[in-house]
Amino acid sequence: MAYLVRMAARAKRDLALIYQRANAEESVAARKWYLELTDAVFSLEQHPNRCPTTAENPKFRHLLYGHKPHVYRIIYRVVEKAKRVEVVQIRHGARRGFRA
């Protein structure tokens, strides 16, 4: 059974900022990369528990997307009873750890 992927307001803002910084509106390659990033987020519908827990908080998991030095962490939690994935943040992998 597929999980419902929900994005927190923070994660939506993160995506909008990534879109802007990548200049995806002007660049075909950047737009393609951005669309692949969003596909990675929604791939969590299937098998969200495949990703490891975060070092900051074991209640959260993270999916890594991209290649060095442009790796992004999609931080989320799985609510098993509701069959839901809650994406809380999308951040560059080089940033310090997050606070839950």
- What is the predicted pLDDT for the residue at 94? 67
Cα angle: 62, vertex 12, 85; to 5 degrees: 45
Q: What is the residue-wise DSSP string for 72-86?
A: EEEEEEEETTTTEEE
- The CATH number of the domain covering residues in 4-92: 3.30.2310.20
Question: pLDDT-based confidence at 70, cuts 50/70/90?
Answer: confident
What is the reported pTM? 0.88
What is the model's pLDDT at position 25?
A: 87
Domain boundaries, the chain: 4-92
